[in-house]
Amino acid sequence: MKTSDFNFDLPEELLAEHPSEHRDEAKLMVLNRKTETIEHKLFKDVVDYFDEKDLFIFNNTKVFPARLYGNKEKTGAKIEVFLLRELDKETRVWDVLVDPARKIRIGNKLFFTEDESLVAEVIDNTTSRGRTLRFLFDGSYDEFRTKLKELGETPLPKYIKRAVEPEDAERYQTIYAKIEGAVAAPTAGLHFSKHLMKKLEIKGIDFAEVTLHVGLGTFNPIEVEDLSKHKMESEEIIIDEKNADIINKAVDAHRRVCAVGTTTMRALETSVSSNKKISAFNGWTNKFIYPPHDFGVANSMITNFHTPKSTLLMMIAAFAGKDFIMHAYEEAVKEKYKFYSYGDAMLIL
């Protein structure tokens, strides 16, 4: 399989700048893998495709406000700092991306507040844009995290050119988000409203949760033509015994098991054993799923519409069949479905 096999023309106006007015009223394209048929619905119609005791598996990661703006000492130049991950809690050392990066060297200091209560020192270069920062803050760890939240901004993807708006803090977060650690939302889950969750519950549908803290690697372009040479960035996964048990029971009973999002699917495929059982898991994954791939747990999935040549498009092509997916995407462009994080949704059965 080659990267160029997953290219298609995506008009810029189909990249969603805003979410749909109501979470569950985005458009929904329903793909049936057996019959290779396509239906056009609204997201709230998803309830019609599932029965009592079927299972939805959600990624309960929570996005933190990872984008900060600081000023470089002496010059006062404005620098964007994107928090990727905490490396050391005690010393407040973080992996970050900086922009513009050419101005930021080891030893530089960045000031985030007028009163200099939060300062960071650059202690390492990791990639062309990557740096390691040590934050200097006179207060407890909890106070430090509160300060980061106060100053941080919802980390909308770069393709959204508008400024962050107050509603983004709520809409770029799933309603079931619990465990903080993602720098990007698991976007398929953004379509679930409290009302829709209630309807699923009333129908007797079961829920399980896994945690995969979404990293920016999700958006990294593939720079090689041969897919087997692409390296994914690692993301942290947590699946506890209780949820592993719920998932295994549904699989054993041959229920419809729906992975909500590519991140949920990656977590499941990382922790499934050769006998198709999910084990409790606490660790990291850099699993790259592309065709052909034998999926071990979910037999249906919900996902958004992804950009050309992306790892996410490759995963769903592995799940639904490459030709069928590329045909569905042609249809999506024709029918003006919205793409990417705030876009419309697809249900693959």
Domains, the chain: 3-63+169-348 (3.40.1780.10), 67-151 (2.40.10.240)
pLDDT reported for residue 1: 85
pLDDT band at 216 (very low <50, low <70, confident <90, very high): confident
CA–chain centroid gap for 165, Å, is: 20
pTM of the predicted model as reported, rounded to 2 decimal places: 0.94
Can you tell me the distance from the alpha carbon of 9 to that of 15, in angstroms, rounded to the nearest whole number?
Answer: 12
pLDDT reported for residue 115: 92
- Reported as a single tens digit per residue, the pLDDT across 110-151 is 999 999 999 999 999 988 889 999 999 999 999 999 999 999
Q: What is the mean pLDDT of the chain?
A: 95
Average pLDDT of span 78-95: 94
Can you tell me the distance from the alpha carbon of 168 to that of 164, in angstroms, rounded to the nearest whole number?
Answer: 7
Amino acid at 239: I
- Reported as a single tens digit per residue, the pLDDT across 30-55 is 999 999 999 999 999 999 999 999 99
Question: For 76, left (φ over 0), alpha (ψ -120 to 50), or beta?
Answer: left
Cβ atoms of 110 and 73 closer than 8 Å? yes
Where is mean pLDDT largest: 124-128, 159-163, 216-220, 237-241? 237-241
Dihedral angle, C-alpha 272, 277, 283, 285, nearest 10 °: 10
CA angle 345, 310, 154 (to 5 degrees): 65
pLDDT reported for residue 274: 87
Residue 158 pLDDT > 90, yes or no? no
